[in-house]
Amino acid sequence: MKICNLRFYCEPTRVNTRGSLYRYAACVTVFALLAGANADTVHAQQPGGAAASKAVRVEVAKPVRRPMKREVCSPATLMADEVVDIYAKASGYVSKIDVNIGSQVKEGDVLVELSVPEMADELRQVQAVHKAKLSRVQALQAKVAQAQQHVNIAKARVRRYEAEGELETANLKRKEELFAGKAIPQQAVDEARSANAIAVAQLQIAHADVSGAASELQAVQADVAVAESQALVAQANTNKIRTLMTYASIRAPFDGVITERNVDHGAFVRSAQEGMTTSLLQIAKIDRMRVVVEISETDVPFVRVGASVTIDVKALDQGPIQATMTRIASSIKPSTRTMRAEIDIDNSAGNLTPGMYAAATIALESKTQAMMIPSKALRMDNKQTIVMVAANGQAQSMPIDVGYDDGIWAEVLSGLSGDEAVITATSGSVTSGAAIIAFASDS
């Protein structure tokens, strides 16, 4: 039964009389009795009595399965694909320089020509030395041929004296036999013995001549080897000067554009070996650009080569550029706690310029059916992420593992089955075991 609000107007107009005081007291008593009856009726209508009056109203929502795409947007800088500082290899005066900043050059084009007159004199000197060394080699080679002839002559003499020695030995044997038969006198035998001894001595001399001629040949051959080595050194010096003279013409290492010019016509420049620290020119290859991005440490585990990247160049009035991650450093810089990543993009049209600022949106992770809950449902309890769920009129704490959280939706990796009523908002403080009145969230 609904008790209407009642108003009682008790106006003791004559408070100084006994009857008025009685009427006022009776009016107050009736009001108190009616008010008490109204309160008892209201409590009787609410289940649980005083406990139900303390229940907290909460919003709940079930986890949903939905596609999840994790991206990170980072500032990026455009850089040339290749940049080379060009130095002089030889010292000299700039006799010609036809390029300037912005000049488009092809590989092999002459950029700077140096005048090095003393190098031409040095070349003539080393060429003369080389020629002299070659002449000495030729002269010694002639001596080698001559020494070889001496060896051959000496060997021929050995063969001759060997034959003569055999003949004299045979003559001596026959004469000794004739002398034994008293057919010839002793003098004939002595003469045969003397002739045989002379033949033996001549053979020994011939062998000595062969050894001498062979030694002479070896000595001349050694002189030839030394002379040939000296000629090779002279040739190397000649080639070195010729190579240095080619450095007087400084050429473009690849197709590109001149981005710096630090010398003018007539300036004297030193080679890098002699302490030149400022480059003559700088050339950049810009037909392909590198987009350099620094990835924060928390996103590094998700960055992969080949990942989709959208590049928005702020200075250009054009749509975003679609590309893929080309390379990553695989190393975090301790000073910034970031990792360098690069994306190669085509610049054959020449619209992009090194140094331009861009925003790179990198796809880190994607799932087709990720379990998601509103981020506002997440709580921390002793360094553990938890959510409160509604069950049987009470709040219950459930620990979960969270994946990607963009501040609106959070991915649940484990801890929930998907049928729970997750508390997303409350009208008051809610702890585990607290009485709640749950209603579905509008979101």
Same domain? 131 vs 235: yes
pLDDT over threshold 90, residue 282: yes
Q: 67 lies in a domain?
A: no
Same domain? 393 vs 349: no
Q: 192 lies in a domain?
A: yes
Summarised one tens digit per residue, pLDDT across range 93-129 is: 999 998 999 999 999 999 999 988 887 788 888 889 9
pLDDT over threshold 90, residue 323: yes
- Judge if pTM exceeds 0.75: no
Q: 397 lies in a domain?
A: yes
Write down the pLDDT at residue 53: 52
- The CATH number assigned to the domain holding 300 equals 2.40.30.170
Closest CA relative to residue 296, chosen from 79, 68, 73, 69: 73
Same domain? 233 vs 141: yes
The whole-angstrom separation of Cα 397 and Cα 409 is 19
- pLDDT band per the 50, 70, 90 thresholds, residue 44: very low
Of 367, 390, 405, which marks where a domain is finished? 367
Summarised one tens digit per residue, pLDDT across range 131-153 is: 998 898 888 888 888 888 888 88
Q: 41 lies in a domain?
A: yes
- What are the structure tokens assigned to 122, written together? 């040095």
Of 219, 246, 273, which marks where a domain is finished? 246
Q: 259 lies in a domain?
A: no
Q: 436 lies in a domain?
A: yes
In sequence order, which residues have a C-beta less than 8 Å from that of residue 292 and are 6 or more positions away? Answer: 76, 77, 78, 79, 340, 341, 342
* Residue carrying the six token digits 């649940």: 412
Same domain? 57 vs 41: no
Q: 273 lies in a domain?
A: no
- Angle, CA of 437, 438 and 441, to the nearest 5°: 145
The whole-angstrom separation of Cα 236 and Cα 166 is 57
pLDDT above 70 covers what percent of the chain?
Answer: 88
Give the chain's domain count. Answer: 4
Write down the pLDDT at residue 41: 35
Same domain? 126 vs 239: yes
* Residue carrying the six token digits 């893929």: 324
Same domain? 127 vs 194: yes
Same domain? 340 vs 384: no
Same domain? 155 vs 211: yes
Write down the pLDDT at residue 16: 38
Instruction: Say which residue, 47 or 28, is predicted with more confidence.
Output: 47
What spatial distance separates the first Cα and last Cα of the chain, rounded to whole Å? Answer: 38
Segment 171-191 mean pLDDT: 81
Segment 208-235 mean pLDDT: 87
Of 345, 367, 389, which marks where a domain is finished? 367
Write down the pLDDT at residue 175: 80
- The CATH number assigned to the domain holding 160 equals 1.10.287
The whole-angstrom separation of Cα 287 and Cα 352 is 9
Same domain? 289 vs 398: no
Q: 90 lies in a domain?
A: no
* Residue carrying the six token digits 């006022």: 24
Supply the mean pLDDT for the chain: 83
Summarised one tens digit per residue, pLDDT across range 45-83 is: 344 444 455 889 999 999 999 888 888 999 999 999 999
**DSSP string of 275-292?**
T--S-SEEEEEEEEEEEE
Summarised one tens digit per residue, pLDDT across range 343-402 is: 999 999 889 999 999 999 999 888 888 999 999 999 998 889 999 999 989 999 999 999
Residue numbers of the domain that contains 27: 1-45
pLDDT over threshold 80, residue 8: no
